[in-house]
Amino acid sequence: MKAIAVYCGSGDGASPIYREGAVRLGRELAKRNITLVYGGARVGLMGAVADAVLEGGGRAIGVLPRFLRDREIAHGGLTELILVETMHERKAKMMELADGFIALPGGPGTLEEFFEVFTWGRLELHRKPVGLLNIGRYYDPLLAMFDTMEREGFMKRYRHAGGHTEVIAEDTPDGLLDRFAAFFAGKRDA
């Protein structure tokens, strides 16, 4: 596992636990020598995870559409900042660069990016792990919705947390990255 794409908010959220979780993830990525691939901003959870990676001596690659350079405030200290023209190019480039995907708490954009890689994995367009860092139980309602989708016959073979690795949900960065490492070691149900 060389690089992980992280999707998260350009804001900090209502509780300090979200920023603290982003920082913990960034430190853990740097500690494990895993390159961060993310949206390229210096604000919100995006900036927090990137700063923590860089402070830990790690690599951080940002992918930012030109039209968001000022709105999301491009991070000036990254290992590399890749400017693209569209949101579609951003997502495609992040998918190309990453060996797996993690969503931290965020808004509609975070969910849209997460759902694209989740859906593409279910369609076998990639075979990379997809995870939710469930800080403060933020994603519990989404995990419950997945259970409803399965129960009502709209999604097959979904299990979270201790189950099948279609979505790996953990509440700590080290737990989530350990599960990703097990995925790469061939233990798909780790």
CA 31 to chain centre: 17
Per residue in 107-131, pLDDT tens? 999 999 999 999 898 888 888 999 9
Are 168 and 176 spatial neighbours (Cβ–Cβ below 8 Å)?
yes
The mean pLDDT value for 176-182 works out to: 95
| CA contacts within 13 A on the Cβ side of 33 | 0
CA 156 to chain centre: 23
Largest CA distance in the chain: 47
Q: Tell me the pTM.
A: 0.92
* Mean model confidence pLDDT for the chain: 91
Domains of the chain with CATH codes: 3-183 (3.40.50.450)
Residue percentage of the chain with pLDDT more than 70:
93
How many CB atoms sit inside 10 A of residue 71's CB? 12
How many CB atoms sit inside 10 A of residue 125's CB? 12
